[in-house]
Structure 1
Amino acid sequence: MEAVMPHVSHIDSDVSKIEKQSEIVATPIASINPLRLCFRVFSLFFLFTPVLFTLPFWLLLGNGRLLVEATNSLTADTETSKILEHDWFMHLTTHCFERAGPVFIKLCQWASMRQDLFHPAVCDAFARLQSHVKPHAYSWTLAQVQELVDLHFGSVSKRKLIVSDVFERFDAEPVGVGAVAQVHLAVLKSQFVSLHGDALAGLEDKRVAVKVIHPRIEHIIEMDLTLLQMGGRIFSKLIPGSKYLAIEEELETFAGMMRRQLDLTIEFRNLAQFKRNFEGEGRQKNERPLPIAFPTPLIATRNVLVEEFCDGVGFRKIVEIGHCAFDEELVQIGLPAFVRMIMKHNFVHADLHAGNILLQFKKETHQKSGKSLEPVDASLYQTLSNASIADRLKLLQKLKEAGYTPHLVFLDVGLTSALSISNLSNIQSVVNAALDGKGEDMADLFMTRCRDPSAVIDPEGARREMKELIQSLGLEEGKSVAGVLPLSVIKSRQVLMKAAQFFRQHRIGLEGEWIGLFVAAVLVEGIARKLGGDVDVIEVLMEEM
C-alpha cells in the first residue's frame, strides 16, 4: 500500500498520481466462502427474528395501523409522526439494522431520504443511524495510521517512527462515526510540516482530520451485497411485471456505491474535484460566488484519509431549531450550490444530509490591503453545539446583528453522482419543459428516454397526469414563470408521491443515474424545508442553467 501527500496549493496536479495509487492499493476482495455466506444468512435471520415475529402484531394491534393509514392518505400527519417517534417497534427495527452492519445502515440512510416512498416517521427513525453508529477500537485506528507513518514519514528518519513521533496530538475519541469509517482529530508536529516544504504549507500547529475505515468491513459488505443481489435476482424472476423496476440494476448501482466508499483515495479525488469546481479555476467567470468550501485533502491511502480539519457547528444543530436568523441566507446558499453541481459541474455530492454539513460564520473587514473575511472565534461553535435550542436562537441572532454571514462546508464526499452526456441532456430537457409549463412534453421525454420504452403503459394517461401535476405547481405553458414557485408553497410530499405513483403506474423505469440524483435532490430539499427561509426554485434553476 502506498501513500501520497500532495501540495496543498497544487492539488489538481496530483490527482493523476492518486488515481494511479488507487489502482495500486485496490486489492481484490477474496472470493466469498459459501459456508461463511450461509452463516451470515443465519446470523441475519436470527438478528431480525424479533422484528419479523412482532411485525404482524404491531400492524394489527399497535401503532402500525396508524402508519399504514397515514401512508395511504398522502399527507404528512404530524400527530402520527409524534406517536411513532417513541414507538417500541420503530426503535427495535432501527436497533436491528444498526447491528446488521454498514450495508443495512446505508439502506436505512437511503430510506431516510425517500419520503416519496416512506412516511416521514419512518424516515425520521432511520435518519438516527446517520450519527449514532458505534465507533471501532482505537487500536485499529492506530494500526492503520502507523502503516501510513511507516510508508510516508519513515523515509525522513533513520529510526522507526511511531504515531506519537509524527502527531503532536491524536485524539482517541472520534469526532464523528459513519457506517464505513470514523474521524479522529489530530495535530501534525511542526518538524514534519517543515520537512515537506509547501506540501503542508499553512498547517503548522493546525489540526487535521484523520478518517479511518472500520476493521474487517470489506468482507462483511461483500457478503451482504451478494445476498442483496441474490435477493434482487429472485425478486425479478418471481414477481411478474417487475422488469421496469430494474431491481438488479439498482442493486448493482448500490453495490458500486458501497464499494467506492471502501477506498478513501476516491474521496481524495472527489475533494480535489469539488475544490476545483467551487474554489479554483473550475469556477466559471459568470458564476455568482457562493460561500461554499470543502476540506483540503492532504494524504490518501485506501484505509486512511488525512484532510484539513474545519471548525464549525454541525448543521444538524441548526436544523433542530426549525427557524433561525440565518434561514433565508442558508437556503439561498445551499439550493443554488446543489443545482450548480447538477447543471454546470455534472458532479454532485450524493450524500448531502445535515450530518455532512458544517456551518461557519465570517465577517467582512476592511484593511489597508483590501477586504477580507474574519472568522468568528472557534470556541463559539462548541458553545452553539452544547447550548439549548433557546440559547442557540439567541446566539445566532447576536451573530447576525454583529454582521456575521453564514458559510457552508461540505464533508464526506465519498459518494458522488455524475450523469452521462445523454442523461445530462435528458435532465436539462425535462427541466426546460417544466419551466415552459409543457407537462405533456415532459411525459413524452420520460416515456421515450426511460430504461425500457416498450414497457410503458397508457401513454395518453401519462401525458394527461403530468400536465395536471405541472399545472398544480402553477407552471402553465405561455405564462411567465418569474416568482411563481417559492419553496414554501410546494407541497413536496404530495408532489413526490404523485410523481412516484406516475412512474409506477405507467411502468416508466428511470435510469439508475436519475434515481441517485432524485435521492440527492429529495435530501437537499428536505434540509431546505426544515429551515424557515424561502427561495424561488424557478429563479434558481434559470440562473444556474
Structure 2
Amino acid sequence: MKRLARLLTIFTMLARYRLDQLLPDHAATRPLKWLIRLHPAAWGASTASHPWARARIAMEELGPVFIKFGQLLSTRHDLLPEEAIEDLSNLQDNVPPFGEQAAFDIIERELKGSIQTLYGSLERTPLASASVAQVHAGTLLDGREIVVKVIRPGIEKLVDSDLALLLTGARWLEKLAPETKRFHPVQVVTDYRHILMGELDLGQEAANAAQFRRNFDASPLLYVPDIHWNLSTSKVLTMERVYGVPVSDTEAMIKAGVNMEHISEIGVEIFFTQVFRDNFFHADMHPGNVLVNLKDPQNPQYLSLDCAIVGTLSKEERFLLARQLMALLDKDYEQIAILMVEAGWVPSHTRIHEFQNALRTVLEPVLERPLQEIEFGPVLIRLFQTARRFEMQALPQFVLLEKTLIHVEGLGRQLYPELDIWEIGRPLLENWIRDQIGPSAIAQTIKRNAPALIEQIPHIPKLAWDALQEMRKLSENQQKLLQQVEERHLGQIRRDRIITLLGLIGLTVGLSWGMNPDWLANWQQVPAGAWVSGAIGATLLLTRLRKSNDN
C-alpha cells in the first residue's frame, strides 16, 4: 500500500511539472503521456522553463533517492544531452534537520549508552543537515573535539522503496522500448543502488576514511580526520573535527597569503596519486567535501571529508586509462578508438576509421590550442558525447573517475585559472607506466609472491615426482594409443589388399572364361558365370580405387 502511495506521489510530480515532455515519442510511452496530461496536477501547469530544469525541481521535492539519482545522472555525459547535465548539476541536497531528540535517541541506541557517558559534550543543534544524514559537533570525555554523523531515521525503507520503483521502471522501459537497451537503464539503476547503499552505511565510510588516512599518513598534501571506532557503527560515525576554509573560498585563501598556483597543483597531484599510486580515489570531491587548512599559509594542506563514495580500478583498467590519456595528449585518435573498442565501451562491430574521424572532428579544434589553455573536463565531455553516437557505455568506475577529474580540474582552475593539469599529470602518468613494466616492478612482484613461493619449496620434490609420473603415464597411454592406431591401420591395409586380390582374381577369371575364341564371334554365348565373375572383380577394384582416392 505504501509503495502504491509513493507511486502516486511520483506520478503527481510528473504531471505537476509536465515531465511527459521528456519521454521519447514511442508507442510504449504514449499511454503514459496521455495519463500524465489528464492528471489534474497537469492542468494549467507552466511549461515555460526547460523540461530538465523542471525535472531538477521535481527530484528535489521527491527526496534523497531522486536527488542522488539526479546527481549521478549529471555525470553521465555518455547518456544525457548537455542541457540535462547542466540542469541536474544544480541539484541541492539541503533539507531541514530531522529533530534533535531523534538524533540523540539513535546515538544512544546504537552505542548502547547515554550521551553523558559517551561524550564530554554534544550540541543538540545540528552543525549541518542533508537528505541522508546530519552532523552534530561535540567533544570526547578527554576534551578532544569531534563531529558525530547520524543517519536519518527511516531513510533505509524510503530508499528501498524508491530504488525498487526505479528498477521496475528501468525494466519496463527495456521491455517496452527494446532500443533503449543500448543505454543499459537497468544497469544504471543497479550501479546507482550500489553507490547509494554505500552512503547509508557509515561503517563503510569510516573504513574508506581509514584507508585514505593510511595512504596519506604524514603527507603534507592531504589530511584525513581520525575515526573513533568505539563510538561508530553503521548508523553513527564519530570522527575528529578539523577546521579549514572551503576550497571554493578563494578570497579567504588569498587574504591569508596562500600561493594559489601551488594549492591548485597540490589538488591535481593528490588526484593522480590516489588513482595511480593507491588505486583508491575519493569520488565525491565537490567543494563541500574539501577544506583547506590555513594554519601555515605557505604550506597549505587539503582536508578530506565525507569519504562515502570511492572508486577503484583494476591494474588493467589503470593501464587502459593511462594509455587513453596519453593517446589523447598525442592526438592519436585511431589509438583512442581502438582502446575504446578493446575495452568494450563501444560495440566490437564499430568501424574504427569512422569512429576515429568522428573523434578527430570534435576534438581537433580543442586540442590544437596551447596545452595550458585546454580544459580537460569539456574535452572529456565532448569525447563521451561523440562516443554516445556509437552506442558507448562506460563502466561505472570510469564514470566516477570522470566526475572526479572534472571536479578536480574545475576546483583547480577556480583557484588558479592558468592551471595546466597535464604539466603535472603527464610526468606522473609516464612514471607510473615505467614503474609498472620496469625492473622494480618485477622485483616487487617477486617480493610480493615470495612467501607463497617459500611455502611451496618443501613440496617441490613431490610435485616434480608427481609431474614425472604423470608424464610417464601419458607416454604409456600415447604408446598404447599409437599401437592401437597402427594395428587398425595394418588391419585396414590387409583388408584392402584382400579386396584388391579378390577383385583381380574375379576379373581375371571372368576375362579368361569369357575369352574363348568360339564365343568372341557371338558374345551372347558367353556363360553367365564369366559375366558374374568379371563384374564382381571389376566392382571390387573400382571400390578400392575410389577409397584410395578419397584417402
**C-alpha distance in 1 between matches for 2:294 and 2:405:** 26
SS class of match (2:136): strand
- 1:448 paired residue number: 342
SS class of match (2:96): coil
| 8 Å Cα contact 1:113-1:522 kept in structure 2 | no
| 8 Å Cα contact 1:229-1:251 kept in structure 2 | yes
SS class of match (1:127): coil
- 2:371 paired residue number: 485
Specify which of 95, 98, 104 is matched with residue 133 of structure 1. 95
| 8 Å Cα contact 1:322-1:532 kept in structure 2 | no
Q: CA deviation at 1:221?
A: 0.4
SS class of match (2:120): strand
- 1:62 paired residue number: 48
The letter for the 2-side match of 1:502 is: T
- 1:220 paired residue number: 158
**C-alpha distance in 1 between matches for 2:47 and 2:133:** 40
Q: CA deviation at 1:270?
A: 0.4
The letter for the 2-side match of 1:490 is: E
Q: CA deviation at 1:186?
A: 0.8
Specify which of 177, 189, 194 is matched with residue 251 of structure 1. 189
- 1:294 paired residue number: 224
More displaced 10-residue stretch of structure 1: 243-252 or 440-449: 243-252
**C-alpha distance in 2 between matches for 1:108 and 1:134:** 20
SS class of match (2:200): coil
Distance 1:55 1:431, change over 3 A: closer
Query: Residue deviations 1:246-286, cap 9 Å, x none?
Result: 22212111101111111111111101111111226xxxxxx
Q: Please state if 1:270 is matched with 2:208.
A: yes
Q: CA deviation at 1:498?
A: 2.4
**C-alpha distance in 2 between matches for 1:124 and 1:172:** 35
SS class of match (1:362): coil
| 8 Å Cα contact 2:163-2:193 kept in structure 1 | yes
Query: Residue deviations 1:292-326, cap 9 Å, x none?
Result: 11111112201001000001122344499999964
Distance 1:462 1:423, change over 3 A: same
Specify which of 175, 188, 207 is matched with residue 145 of structure 2. 207
Query: Residue deviations 1:152-203, cap 9 Å, x none?
Result: xxxxxxxxx521233232111222223311111011122xxxxxxxxxxxxx
SS class of match (1:508): coil
| 8 Å Cα contact 1:101-1:220 kept in structure 2 | no
SS class of match (1:453): coil
- 2:421 paired residue number: 537
| 8 Å Cα contact 1:148-1:304 kept in structure 2 | yes
**C-alpha distance in 2 between matches for 1:327 and 1:114:** 31
The letter for the 2-side match of 1:485 is: L
- 1:516 paired residue number: 400
| 8 Å Cα contact 2:3-2:161 kept in structure 1 | yes
Q: Please state if 1:422 is matched with 2:316.
A: yes
Q: Which runs of 5+ in 2 are unaligned?
A: 23-41, 430-551
Q: CA deviation at 1:226?
A: 1.0
Written as runs of structure 1 = structure 2, the 5 A alignment for 1:328-367 is: 328-363=261-296
| 8 Å Cα contact 1:275-1:293 kept in structure 2 | yes
In the superposition, the TM-score normalised over structure 1's length comes to 0.67
**C-alpha distance in 2 between matches for 1:317 and 1:434:** 32
Distance 1:466 1:96, change over 3 A: closer
| 8 Å Cα contact 2:367-2:374 kept in structure 1 | no
Specify which of 237, 240, 246 is matched with residue 305 of structure 1. 237
Q: Please state if 1:43 is matched with 2:27.
A: no
The letter for the 1-side match of 2:315 is: I
SS class of match (1:279): coil
| 8 Å Cα contact 1:97-1:108 kept in structure 2 | yes
SS class of match (2:293): strand
Specify which of 252, 260, 271 is matched with residue 327 of structure 1. 260
Query: Residue deviations 1:331-367, cap 9 Å, x none?
Result: 111122112211221111111101111121132xxxx
Specify which of 122, 144, 147 is matched with residue 109 of structure 2. 147
SS class of match (1:408): strand
Q: Which has the higher strand share?
A: 1
| 8 Å Cα contact 1:108-1:129 kept in structure 2 | no
| 8 Å Cα contact 1:168-1:187 kept in structure 2 | yes
- 1:439 paired residue number: 333
Written as runs of structure 1 = structure 2, the 5 A alignment for 1:458-477 is: 458-469=351-362, 471-474=364-367
| 8 Å Cα contact 1:451-1:510 kept in structure 2 | yes
| 8 Å Cα contact 1:290-1:337 kept in structure 2 | no
**C-alpha distance in 2 between matches for 1:316 and 1:245:** 35
Specify which of 52, 59, 69 is matched with residue 107 of structure 1. 69
Q: CA deviation at 1:114?
A: 5.8
Give the number of the structure with larger relative contact order, counting CA–CA contacts within 8 Å between residues 6 or more apart: 1
**C-alpha distance in 2 between matches for 1:185 and 1:113:** 32
The letter for the 2-side match of 1:139 is: Q
Query: Residue deviations 1:18-48, cap 9 Å, x none?
Result: xxxxxxxxxxxxxxxxx32222101222244
Specify which of 246, 253, 256 is matched with residue 314 of structure 1. 246
Distance 1:325 1:360, change over 3 A: closer
Specify which of 127, 133, 143 is matched with residue 175 of structure 1. 127
Q: Which has the higher helix share?
A: 2
| 8 Å Cα contact 1:439-1:463 kept in structure 2 | yes
Q: CA deviation at 1:102?
A: 1.3
**C-alpha distance in 2 between matches for 1:38 and 1:531:** 48
**C-alpha distance in 2 between matches for 1:413 and 1:468:** 39
Larger-Rg structure: 2
Query: Residue deviations 1:453-473, cap 9 Å, x none?
Result: 33x544321112334455444
SS class of match (1:129): coil
The letter for the 1-side match of 2:127 is: V
Q: CA deviation at 1:445?
A: 0.5
| 8 Å Cα contact 2:345-2:395 kept in structure 1 | yes
**C-alpha distance in 2 between matches for 1:319 and 1:39:** 48
Q: Which runs of 5+ in 1 are unaligned?
A: 1-34, 69-89, 151-160, 191-204, 281-288, 364-402, 477-483
Superposition CA RMSD, Å: 3.3
Q: Please state if 1:413 is matched with 2:307.
A: yes
Give the number of equivalent residue pairs. 405
In the superposition, the TM-score normalised over structure 2's length comes to 0.66
Q: CA deviation at 1:111?
A: 4.6
The letter for the 1-side match of 2:63 is: G
Q: Please state if 1:188 is matched with 2:140.
A: yes
SS class of match (2:301): strand
Q: Please state if 1:239 is matched with 2:187.
A: no
| 8 Å Cα contact 2:245-2:294 kept in structure 1 | no
**C-alpha distance in 2 between matches for 1:307 and 1:240:** 48
The letter for the 2-side match of 1:530 is: Q
Q: Please state if 1:230 is matched with 2:116.
A: no
Distance 1:230 1:60, change over 3 A: same
| 8 Å Cα contact 1:473-1:485 kept in structure 2 | no
